[in-house]
Amino acid sequence: MIKHDLKNWIYTNDLEGLLFFAQRLNEALFDFSPDRYKAPTLFTISSCLELLRTASSVKNGVFPLKTLETVFEEFKSIYNKDIIAQELVGVDAKNYFLEITESNLEKFITGIELLIMKMPPREYLNLLKEKLKEAIVSCKRKREIEDYSLKYISILTHLGYTQDFLYRKTCDFFFKKNMINNVNNIDEFYSLFDLKVKRYNIYLKISRLFRPLEEMCKGFKISIVEDEELSSKLKLTPQDEILIKVEQIELYDPYGAQIYVDRLLNKINNLFTFYYHKQRLSWSAEAVVKEMDSKDEGFHIKKRVTSMQKGIDYYPQAAAKLLGKMLMEINLKKDSFFRINRGIDFHGTSIENNIPENQLIQNWIALETLIINNNEDSKINLILKGLIPVLNYLYIKQLFSNLSSDIQRLRDAKVDEIVNKVPEGESYIDKVVALCVLKSNLSIAQELLKVLSSSPLLRYRIYDLNLSLSNSDCIYKYLKEHEKRVEWHIRRIYRTRNLITHSGKVPKFIESLVESSHSYLDKFINIMITLSAEEKQIYTIQQGIQEIQIRNRIHTNYLKNNPNTECDSSNFKLLLWGGF
């Protein structure tokens, strides 16, 4: 969560809902926000389309029937929580589905197609904007605002806007360029995304090796140009580079134009190196994008943050220190050390590659290398058994760690003073946890919430964690829901990997899958290193997986054996993360 400057806000209590929306949207779109706070990969329409694709694949013998049942289960879960989709459909969606069997697969597919036609994306967007504004005006319906905000991102990216563009427009509108003094400012913000296709020309520098390809590339509307001003802006080196122009790219936003050009040049590059193996084309990640029907001087896009660069990072000195510690203290048997080493190699290859589908395949290969060491079950089941426990382990502790970091990022002495009043815990994070979940700290929590008046998102996060995690039953349910979401997502990554490998097709949400698979890979490797180097608990990866499975089982058994138990000063760490 970023601390926002509100100097352009004439803030009153009536704007609390709008500020919450702006902060939540900004957080969800920020490249380096935790996965938990980003928009989900799918919403109802995209989930329904995935269901249709999967049903067609099952019909064609690509996937077994069981795969369709899993995707259908996820779709029903998403649809049942989506009031907007339900209003558009108008009747019970169950009427469109038959029992999934091989004999009625054709009718099942027809039912999905009929359902999709009842949810036109633009109608969905219009109804969503109405409901979102109603919730914002009310100020108090924070959960609805959050839900609608994430759906707003999902539908706009589904329709063709890029996350980079949405993030830039959100920052500019709410925190940089506009005076915000009325809840109706939301209508001005909506108008920024008018769903009108723009025509762009894009300029970038490329290696001189491109020159003999110019004639061939005219069919792609690529040409070499001379422009002193643009060459200076892009810092072109004449002896090594030339300036090219790609014309008439029809998309919604300039970042999309840059992504399009990058993909196009990669295609040309791969074709070229099929015949010439000694050297590849190289081009700048920077570009100047000009809208053809505008007199503006152009939009200078710096290097984009790729999906593989969005993980948690360290400063070089800290990274070097951690590397040295790992190399000196890790104590794994030869086979497991080799697999960790190869997994890190695949991770490095994925970082260097800038094509999302290639990154996803490398990440999946790394996970298979690390986790699969027998043929006792299918690959996907072995991955699920090895990866889900790792992703569920200390999940709640990580949520509170994120919250603690967000509070400290305020750099507010008064806030820190209030947090330090909490009697439980020695560390800052433990005090934040105790403040959120213990009834005995209610007065301190209320004092903190008053001070956080200009951060309704942070206030909501404290309230939400309290509501979700205050007793054993809630905690157990929370963990099980997370486990199910993770299972669905891992299966989606696996299906997408198969789709790319066997058909070359790439879904719209590929970058989200790369982010998730990278996050999963990092967490798995880090936990194995921690168990070996720091805790001295394991000598093999399989021991590490089993150790985490046992720890999770101890935690869930404790929750089940202590039903309806409220968090108190003696048990809150045991209830929340098993005390580990």
Identify the pLDDT of residue 308: 84
Between CA 508 and CA 259 the distance in angstroms is: 13
Identify the pLDDT of residue 100: 84
Q: How confident is the model at residue 464 (pLDDT cuts 50, 70, 90)?
A: very high
Identify the pLDDT of residue 121: 97
Identify the pLDDT of residue 305: 82
Mean pLDDT of 172-201: 94
Q: Is the pLDDT of residue 375 over 90?
A: no
Q: Is the pLDDT of residue 486 over 70?
A: yes
The H or E element spanning position 202 is strand 198-207
3-state DSSP helix/strand/coil percent for the chain, to nearest 5? Answer: 65, 5, 30
Identify the pLDDT of residue 99: 79
Identify the pLDDT of residue 384: 96
Identify the pLDDT of residue 110: 94
Identify the pLDDT of residue 329: 82
* 467 Cβ neighbours under 8 A, 6+ residues apart: 474
Mean pLDDT of 500-523: 92
Q: How confident is the model at residue 296 (pLDDT cuts 50, 70, 90)?
A: confident
Q: How confident is the model at residue 151 (pLDDT cuts 50, 70, 90)?
A: very high
Mean pLDDT of 45-65: 93
Between CA 487 and CA 383 the distance in angstroms is: 10
Identify the pLDDT of residue 315: 66
Q: How confident is the model at residue 135 (pLDDT cuts 50, 70, 90)?
A: very high
Q: Is the pLDDT of residue 311 over 70?
A: no
Mean pLDDT of 81-99: 89
> SS3 string of 527-558?
HHHHHHHHCCCCCCHHHHHHHHHHHHHHHHHH
Q: What is the pLDDT of residues 409-457, one digit of tens each?
A: 998 999 999 999 999 999 999 999 999 999 999 999 999 999 998 899 9
- Biggest CA-to-CA distance, the chain: 75
pLDDT winner (highest mean) among 100-104, 304-308, 546-550: 546-550
**Residue-wise DSSP of 360-378:** HHHHHHHHHHHH----SS-
Q: Is the pLDDT of residue 278 over 70?
A: yes
Q: Is the pLDDT of residue 317 over 80?
A: no
Bridge partner residues of 202 (DSSP): 246, 289
Cα distances from 139 to residues 85, 148, 398, 515, in angstroms, run 23, 14, 29, 33
Radius of gyration of the chain (CA): 26
Mean pLDDT of 114-132: 97
Bridge partner residues of 223 (DSSP): 245
381 or 11, higher pLDDT? 381
**Closest by CA position to 139, among listed 186, 176, 80, 171:** 186
Q: What is the mean pLDDT of the chain?
A: 92
Identify the pLDDT of residue 580: 84
Q: How confident is the model at residue 216 (pLDDT cuts 50, 70, 90)?
A: confident
DSSP secondary structure letter of residue 9: B
Continuous H helices in 192-289: 214-217, 228-233, 254-275
Q: How confident is the model at residue 354 (pLDDT cuts 50, 70, 90)?
A: confident
Identify the pLDDT of residue 279: 84
For 495-510, b/e burial (b = at least 16 CB within 10 A) is bbbbbbeeeeebbebb
Q: Is the pLDDT of residue 20 over 90?
A: yes
Identify the pLDDT of residue 323: 72
48 or 325, higher pLDDT? 48
Q: Is the pLDDT of residue 314 over 70?
A: no
363 or 352, higher pLDDT? 363
Cα distances from 287 to residues 231, 244, 298, 304, in angstroms, run 11, 10, 10, 10
Q: What percent of the chain has pLDDT over 70?
A: 99
Q: What is the pLDDT of residues 225-274, one digit of tens each?
A: 999 889 999 999 988 899 999 999 999 999 999 999 999 999 999 888 88
Q: Is the pLDDT of residue 224 over 90?
A: yes
Lookup: tokens for 369: 């290398």
Q: Is the pLDDT of residue 142 over 70?
A: yes
Bridge partner residues of 4 (DSSP): none
Identify the pLDDT of residue 335: 93
Identify the pLDDT of residue 484: 96
Identify the pLDDT of residue 356: 92
Mean pLDDT of 136-149: 93
Q: Is the pLDDT of residue 98 over 80?
A: no
